[in-house]
Amino acid sequence: MTSIEPVKKRILLRHLSALASICLLVTQALAQDPLKALPQAYKLQFENDWVKVTRVHYAPHEKLPPHQHTQSASAYVYLNDSGPVVFKHIGLSYGAVTRPATKEGTVRLYQGLKEIHEVESLSDVPSDFLRVEFKTEPINEKSLRGRFHREAYATGENFQKVQFENEQIRITRLVCAAGKSLDVTTGPNEPALLVALSPSSFKVDGPRRKSAALRLQMGQSSWVAVSQQQKIENSGSAPAELLRFDFKTKPLSKEMLEKNEKHEHPKK
């Protein structure tokens, strides 16, 4: 019997290992695209070849089942002051990670990551934010990190500051004072995305277009194509706060997108 027991033990361990692998595969298969599986929490706001904008809402103390995390490098734009949220990673060595409380108007940059996670809100208030995914060719992707907050600005004056820039993306924080204008010009290869951080009303003028009204609620976005020359005038009674994302590299090809989906990124 003593010679048989080690053999039985090895067979049992192999069976347990195989069962664990099957359970992981089943979990991954069930963890669908959150836009389809969890529409109450994830809603597509805008998408083109350059960018994908998803509006995310975690209700107070909400628990979300396993779902896929985006594999594209992204900016997270927080739309309210919210509490901590726990992300419980499945099949990964680093387990659960707690996102600390967020401040309205803050932007956080984050590399893409291949993972499946559950979500649990620990807060009495909801968590609302935009996930701005970069679908363009990554250059110096490891530099995509950091938190960038609102800046102080003079009352009645425009404000503009580049808060982050690398070879792939430029992020500029803008404030257009009531009754004043900002130039929003894009280059021949660099379109831009504007994200409103306050309810905003503009009159938009350009050399080849008639004046048009543009109204954005908090968290709404507006796309500015390449080679545009336009001026936006704040027609509201309060300062209009915006984030501008300029895309400096071209969109990834379909082949590169598929390759990116298979690529394992390092831990957060």
Distance CA 109, CA 147 (A): 7
Architecture of domain 34-141+253-262: Sandwich (2.60)
The DSSP symbol for 250 reads P
**146-247 matches 34-141+253-262 in CATH topology:** yes
Helix/strand/coil for 121: strand
CATH number 2.60.120.10 given to 146-247: yes
Q: Is the dihedral of CA 209, 198, 102, 174 positive or negative?
A: positive
Whole-structure pTM value: 0.84
Distance CA 45, CA 52 (A): 8
Q: Where are the domains of the chain?
A: 1-30, 34-141+253-262, 146-247
The predicted-structure confidence for 151-199, as pLDDT tens digits, reads as follows: 999 999 999 999 999 999 999 999 999 999 999 999 999 999 999 999 9
**Nearest residue to 46 (alpha-carbon basis) of 112, 122, 133:** 133
Could you tell me the two tokens for 248? 């400096």
The predicted-structure confidence for 208-258, as pLDDT tens digits, reads as follows: 778 999 999 999 999 999 999 999 999 999 999 999 999 999 999 877 666
H helix runs in the chain, sequence order = 5-30, 34-37, 254-262
The predicted-structure confidence for 134-145, as pLDDT tens digits, reads as follows: 999 999 999 999
- pLDDT greater than 60 at residue 205: yes
**Nearest residue to 129 (alpha-carbon basis) of 184, 89, 74:** 74
